[in-house]
A and B are shown apart, each in its own frame.
Chain A
Amino acid sequence: MKPLLLPDFCAPRAVLLVLVIITLTALLLTLAAPGPGPGFWGELARRQLFLIWVGLTGAALLCALRPYIAARGALTGALLVLAVVLLVVAAVSESAWWILHSALFNPSALLGRPPVTHSLFLARNLLIGAMVGALALRYAYVTQQWRLNVEAQARARSDALQARIRPHFLYNSMNTIAALTRSDPARAEEAVLDLTELFRANLDERRNLITLQEELENARTYLRIEQLRMGERLRVHWDVAALPMQAQIPALTLQPLLENAILHGVSKLPGGGEVHVDGNAADGALVLKVRNRMPLEGGGTHAGHGIALENIRERLSLLHGGRSSVTAGREGDEFVVQLRFPVVEAPRTNAG
């Protein structure tokens, strides 16, 4: 059962939409049938006043009833919304009729000429309400559908771009574990657990966006495995304590950068080398920097390096639009990659 895609009437955005629809409807009615009253603008104002009562009361009711409606199917939901709209139209029409029929006013002057009967007034308003309500529902449905479509496409693109563990890393890790199983079973067990965690992060498609803390943990897990292979040849220095740990980051953004630093840097240096991970956050932007010494021969950017960077660039840009940047290049004898993107704190949920 597909639920009705109803805008959130508690949000200012939807209330604004209601006001726009009301104004247009009032304008349309007044243009089609200028009333008897004090000219075009007076007529428009009166109809708008009437409709604002309908619109805001309707929005308030739909806001309150939203959970109930959302639990129904699309068709039932749509009919429920229409019923609410008609109910509100009826109530406001009745109130207007009785107020205007009180001693103070002359209803025929205010409600149009020729003077309408009570039932005709009600029926006309209900019919207009049903038509405008149905059109608005259809509009909301189509835009929502379109937005979901765009989001799904962006998500699919982002999923496709997510870094995959390189086969080389998997086979080498398995080789390390095979060796440790003989010599040091406890460390072999640790390595199996680390590798499992890394694969979980890699294969879990529901968790595209994670906190910086989780990504740093992924990176450390990855480095523990590499450390087993490379021993003291790999030296990693962290300076990330001051970062906002709840900031959102696409899963496996930092890890591929470290993998590149090792694959194209440290592992090619006979004596090994340092990898520096620094970060800072200022003015709502987070900057992450990975630096490593470059091997003397075959300098420049490796093709694999470029692909990983391009993926990260695109994933960040899908998330933050033009407000993220990825730069990479030589600085002296080091290769430096810098990520910069806005800090967006993850909503605090207990979903793990």
Chain B
Amino acid sequence: MLKALIVDDEPLARARLGALLRELNQVEVVGEAADASQTLALLEQLGPDILYLDVRMPGMSGLELARHLARLPDPPAIVFITAHDEHAMQAFEAEAVGYLLKPVRKEKLAAATERAQRLSARQLAVVAAPEPRTHLPVRNRTGLRLLRVTDIICLLAEQKYTTVRHTGGEDLVEDSLRQLETELGAHFLRVHRGALVNRAFLEAIERSDDGSYFARLRGIAEPLPVSRRLAGELKARL
């Protein structure tokens, strides 16, 4: 039987969905999570095949979480659940992504489980598009954890990875700098080809004796080189 994980921040909503799923007996409910980080932890532990995922949650939303899940090597199928999020519902319908409305009806739950599918990259791109990233999942020795975007100081392109320097240290992510730039949006500025800087941490653009430019960042001792081409534009924005 398929293993199912229920993700919703409301205990009563989880309880009801769990009871319905047990009655339907199509899947085995192996766990419940109240937010995105719990979900990521349980995902590694329990390896569920299908996720019943609430769209609106504190911290990272269900849509953003789904985008991260899609990058996993063997992502689970997803059934979205929402009370009334018009934009999300429009996107689900446009991309034929399975979703259920709260309060969930038993027959519809059965049908959605029957049809549940892994989302394609295209579907995910459309469904999660309006959501600006609030968290970045990073993997280190202690496992997968969610880094708040507001804690990121800068992102530096390496050969195969991107280094993320944040208030709590340094981590690696697999996403390319270009991809991150489009997903993180206007709060991050490109200072040269290989570096993206969080505006909130940018203190000054300085010019050294030999005529090259540097960016001074709060929380990082050594200055970051700035390309000549971008220096003027950056100074104007500061």
Q: Which residues of A contact B (CB under 8 A)?
A: 167-168, 171-172, 174-180, 182-183, 228-231, 267-270, 295-298
Q: Could you tell me if A229 and B10 are in contact, using CB atoms closer than 8 angstroms? A: yes
Bound-state Cα–Cα, A297 to B151, Å: 10
A-B contact list, 13 entries, CB within 8 Å? A174-B102, A175-B10, A175-B12, A176-B13, A178-B16, A180-B12, A228-B12, A268-B59, A270-B35, A270-B59, A296-B150, A297-B134, A297-B148
Which residues does chain B contribute within 8 Å of A171, judged by CB atoms? 83-84, 101-103
Q: Could you tell me if B15 and A179 are in contact, using CB atoms closer than 8 angstroms? A: yes
Q: Could you tell me if A175 and B102 are in contact, using CB atoms closer than 8 angstroms? A: yes
Q: Could you tell me if B150 and A183 are in contact, using CB atoms closer than 8 angstroms? A: no
With both chains docked as a complex, state the minimum distance between the C-beta of A187 and any C-beta of chain B, in angstroms: 10
Bound-state Cα–Cα, A175 to B84, Å: 12
Interface extent on B, as a size class?
20 to 34
Which residues does chain B contribute within 8 Å of A269, judged by CB atoms? 58
Residue from A179, A230, A231 with most neighbouring chain B CB atoms (10 Å): A179
- Which 9 pairs of residues, A with B, have the shortest CB-CB distance? A179-B16, A171-B83, A179-B12, A175-B103, A175-B102, A178-B103, A167-B84, A297-B134, A168-B84
Bound-state Cα–Cα, A176 to B9, Å: 12
Q: Which residues of B contact A (CB under 8 A)?
A: 9-13, 15-16, 19, 35, 56, 58-59, 83-85, 101-104, 132, 134, 148-150
Say whether chain A's binding surface is mostly helix, strand, loop, or mixed.
Answer: helix
Which residues does chain B contribute within 8 Å of A297, judged by CB atoms? 134, 148-150
With both chains docked as a complex, state the minimum distance between the C-beta of A188 and any C-beta of chain B, in angstroms: 10
Q: Could you tell me if A296 and B148 are in contact, using CB atoms closer than 8 angstroms? A: yes
CB closest chain-A residue, reference B18: A179
Say whether chain B's binding surface is mostly helix, strand, loop, or mixed.
Answer: loop
Apart from A175-B12, A175-B83, A182-B16: 13 A-B pairs, beta carbons within 8 A: A171-B83, A172-B10, A172-B83, A175-B10, A177-B103, A179-B12, A180-B12, A182-B19, A229-B12, A267-B9, A267-B58, A268-B59, A270-B35
CB closest chain-B residue, reference A180: B12
Q: Could you tell me if A231 and B102 are in contact, using CB atoms closer than 8 angstroms? A: no
With both chains docked as a complex, state the minimum distance between the C-beta of B9 and any C-beta of chain A, in angstroms: 8
Which residues does chain A contribute within 8 Å of B132, judged by CB atoms? 298
With both chains docked as a complex, state the minimum distance between the C-beta of B17 and any C-beta of chain A, in angstroms: 9
Q: Could you tell me if A231 and B11 are in contact, using CB atoms closer than 8 angstroms? A: yes
Which residues does chain B contribute within 8 Å of A182, judged by CB atoms? 15-16, 19
Bound-state Cα–Cα, A228 to B85, Å: 21
CB closest chain-A residue, reference B19: A182
Bound-state Cα–Cα, A268 to B134, Å: 12
Q: Could you tell me if A270 and B58 are in contact, using CB atoms closer than 8 angstroms? A: yes
Which residues does chain B contribute within 8 Å of A296, judged by CB atoms? 148, 150
Which residues does chain B contribute within 8 Å of A180, judged by CB atoms? 12
Q: Could you tell me if A268 and B58 are in contact, using CB atoms closer than 8 angstroms? A: yes
CB closest chain-A residue, reference B85: A168
Q: Could you tell me if B102 and A172 are in contact, using CB atoms closer than 8 angstroms? A: yes
Which residues does chain B contribute within 8 Å of A268, judged by CB atoms? 58-59
With both chains docked as a complex, state the minimum distance between the C-beta of A55 and any C-beta of chain B, in angstroms: 64
Bound-state Cα–Cα, A171 to B16, Å: 14
Which residues does chain A contribute within 8 Å of B56, judged by CB atoms? 168, 267
Bound-state Cα–Cα, A177 to B102, Å: 11
Which residues does chain A contribute within 8 Å of B150, judged by CB atoms? 296-297
CB closest chain-A residue, reference B13: A175
With both chains docked as a complex, state the minimum distance between the C-beta of A149 and any C-beta of chain B, in angstroms: 38
Bound-state Cα–Cα, A258 to B83, Å: 20
With both chains docked as a complex, state the minimum distance between the C-beta of A120 and any C-beta of chain B, in angstroms: 81
CB closest chain-B residue, reference A169: B83
CB closest chain-B residue, reference A182: B19
CB closest chain-B residue, reference A229: B10
Which residues does chain A contribute within 8 Å of B10, judged by CB atoms? 172, 175-176, 229-230
With both chains docked as a complex, state the minimum distance between the C-beta of A100 and any C-beta of chain B, in angstroms: 83
CB closest chain-B residue, reference A296: B150
CB closest chain-B residue, reference A187: B12
Which residues does chain B contribute within 8 Å of A174, judged by CB atoms? 102-103
